Each structure stands twice: as C-alpha cells, then as structure tokens.
A and B are shown apart, each in its own frame.
Chain A
Amino acid sequence: MAITRPLVIGFLAALLSACAADSGYHWANYSEQAYRYKNNPTEQNRASYQTALTAVVNHAALKNLRVPPGVYAELAFLALEEKNRAQAAWYLRQEQQLYPESAALTQAWLNRIEAGAAQ
C-alpha cells in the first residue's frame, strides 16, 4: 500500500489537470500586480508590476517556455512611459515575432515610435 498512495494522488492530480488544461504559460503574479498598479498607480506599484513582468520573461527563458501574450507589450508600454523609445521598440518587436496576431497593433505603435509621436 506504500506504493499505492502516491499513485492514487498522482492519478487524481493528472485527472484534475487534464480537465483544467490550459495553454501552459507561466504568469507568476502578473495579474495581481497589474490590477494593483492600474487601480493605484504609485511609483512603488509600478515598480512591482515591472518586476513581475520581467520575472515572467526570465522564467520563460530559464524553462524554455513561450513568454505569455501581452507581457512584452506591457513592458514596452512601461518603457514608453519612461520615454525609453528604443527599449519600447525592442519589446514590441519581440511581441510581434512571438505573436503575429499582434502585428496590426504593434506595427501601429512602432510607426508612432519611429515618427517620434509616441508619448
């Protein structure tokens, strides 16, 4: 029975995860920090949000996972807020490369950045 118990737990876990399967992204506490920042845009909350986004990217690189949709774009938005256009453009190109569905939006913003019209 010593072997059976872990197997039972393993089967139940597999069962539950199969029913609740998702796209396999790792988000850490991205949503929580995003809500905190948008709801109360202090410098501290902004820094925590930026840290959360960077942690998602770093974790994806470490585990060879795809960076979740929108994470590079949100980093680009924060870079634009800091007037760091070159960094923002780099993040937007990463988003576009990973998710071609973002092309219309990311290209519109890349054009704005190149024209010096973004923020």
Chain B
Amino acid sequence: MKILRWMMVFAVVSISGCTAMAEKDWKAWSAMQREKPVALLLVVDSEAGVPQHASEFFFTTLPELMANSGYYALPPSFSYQLLRDSGYKQVASVLNAEPGAIQKLTGADAVLYVRVKEWQASTSIFATGSVRVAASYQLISTKTGTLMWHADSYHEMDTSVDEGSWLEDMVLTELETSSVDISQVAQQLNESVLYLLPPGKYHPFYQNWQQP
C-alpha cells in the first residue's frame, strides 16, 4: 500500500503544480484581471494566399474552445449579420470602431481577433514534407481598445519519409503529406493556444487566478 500513498502525494503535488504554473502565466495579463471580459466577439481574417476555408474553420470551431475556456462566445451567425447590417462590413471597421460602439451593438466585452497566417501542406524534391498552420490571436477590449492578451503560434506536422531510396521516399512523402487532415493540425494549434488564455467566468479555475 506504500505505492498508493506515494501516488496520492505525487498526484496532489502535480495537480497543484500544474495549475500554479498556469496561474502565474495567466496573472501576467493584468488587463484581463482588471476588465474581466466574459462575452467575446470572434473576428477572423487571413493573410493573402491562405484559402477561404481556413478562415471558416477557425470561425466555426473556435467558439467551442472559447466556451470551454470559460467565456461566452457570441453566436457567429447572428453577430456577423448584425455587424454587417450596422455598417461593419470589414474586419478593419470592427477593429477600428470607436471604443464602446461594438459593445453597445453586440454586448461583447472584447473581440478575439484571429489572423490565419499559414495553412499549407508542402513537399520538396529532397523527400521532405510538412503540414503547417500558423495564426495570431489578440483579445482586444471593446471598452478601451486595450490589447488584453495575445499569442502568436504555429503547429507543424513533419510528414517526411526516410525509409528507402530517394525516389521511394519522395513518393511516400507525397502520399503521407496528402493524407494529413490539415484541420486536425489547426485544431491542435487552437487547443494549445487557448490553453494559454486566462480562464473566463464559466471555468472552474476562474476564481483561483482572479485572486491577487
């Protein structure tokens, strides 16, 4: 039974260590503690060369992750149509709106602005391959325009094959690369980044990290 006692000690120490580390990072975002945003408006755009469906992927899958992080993600369908009908037809017009205007219209405390930078699968004649998704994330207060939290990250899957002759490897690398579902790579990127976002009101850790 000694092993059980040690396991319990290890589990307790590890769990508290895990949350303590995260809490330390979360507390670094002082504007988050000050403004306590709850309702978030998701805004997505992408750099030139990124396919349209990449933005659609972020737009449709991020609300679930935002909610799991404890926030209220404003329903994209309704919020986008309301914004469009109110003259906010471009991403820039939302981001550059007068302080308070977007909050008054939608109820959003902050905008989660995601810019998709890369969404690509590539191979080379050297039998190397990769699938890569990169994006930046900014949480901007609708009250003050303050940047409250940000992250810039990528997720890459190496699809290179090195098992036989150069020609075999090149063909296998092509096959391996084309078989990867790039949306899974994007999902992993989003999950790893949103883990860094301080938890919101509906998350069990919210009270912990809000304490000074």
Contact = CB atoms under 8 A, between A and B. Distances in A.
**Pairing of A with B:** yes
Interface of A: 4, 7-8, 11, 14-15, 18-25, 27, 30-31, 34-35, 38-39, 68-70, 73-74, 76-77, 95, 99, 101-106, 108-109
A18 B15 contact: yes
Interface of A is mostly: helix
B67 A25 contact: yes
A74 B14 CA distance: 39
A19 B21 CA distance: 10
Interface of B is mostly: helix
B106 A21 contact: no
Contacts of B203: 21-23
B183 interface: yes
Contacts of B195: 20
Q: What is the interface residue range for chain B against chain A?
A: 35 or more
A51 B70 CA distance: 25
A22 B11 contact: no
A21 B60 contact: no
Interface of B: 3-4, 7-8, 10-11, 14-15, 18-19, 38-39, 53, 56-57, 59-61, 63-64, 67-79, 82, 103-107, 109, 183, 195, 202-205
B4 A77 contact: no
Contacts of B39: 101-102
